[in-house]
Amino acid sequence: MRLMWIATCLAISLFSSHVSATDQEQKKAEDKAEVLEQKAAEKSADVPVPKAEAITTSEVQAVDPAGKSPLDDAITCLARSIYWEAKGRKTNEMEAVASVVMNRLGHEGFPDTVCAVVKQGSEIKNCQFSWWCDGRSDQVKEDAEYAVAKEIARKALNKTLNDRTLGAMYFHDKTVRPDWAGKYIKTADIGRFRFYKPRGGDAK
């Protein structure tokens, strides 16, 4: 009985230390992401951030591990947008969605935080990203694809993601022809998506 009690206490201790370490990584990642999104909104030099300031792979994967957290931090908001807009698609399509969000960040007419960019328009029922106000659950269903989305979000915030969209701030599925597309300059076709930027300037 004594041995079982010791083993139980040891297991609880190990589990608690693992949870604590994961919580610390999550907090560290969220704090770093807040600083990085501020720099991105200010359109600081478009170079990778210093290693000490960069979000690591283990840190980003510790954020929202079950895909059920409220959308109130940069990593979760960016990763969910990537996931819901492009899950099941090729990596370059997922990366392109991330670039659109980051290109909008702090640009004239768009908010200064990732979450505000993602949720923009919801107050007037005119969401910029349709998944955000389609009335369906926003909880993740495919863990592996969400892990990929979080890694892409990490690279985007660390400024190590190649912008294949060439500064785009708008996109749509190529199977549709929205009325607004004619107002903008087409920058790229990537997989099933078509990307655009304003005629009066780009996102850089």
139 near 70, Cβ under 8 Å? no
Take residue 85 and report the two structure tokens written for it.
Answer: 């807009």
Contact partners, residue 32, CB within 8 Å, separation at least 6 = 53, 54, 55, 59, 157
Residues forming a β-bridge with 196: 170, 186
Percent of the chain residues past pLDDT 70, beyond the cut: 81
Q: What is the pLDDT of residue 160?
A: 94
For 40-78, the pLDDT digits (tens) are 998 766 777 899 999 999 999 999 998 999 889 999 999
φ/ψ of 146, rounded to 5, equals -70, -35
Residue spans per domain, the chain: 2-197
Mean pLDDT (whole number) for 181-202: 90
For 96-143, the pLDDT digits (tens) are 999 999 999 989 889 999 999 998 876 656 677 777 676 667 678 899
Q: What is the pLDDT of residue 108?
A: 87
Q: What is the DSSP letter of 197?
A: E
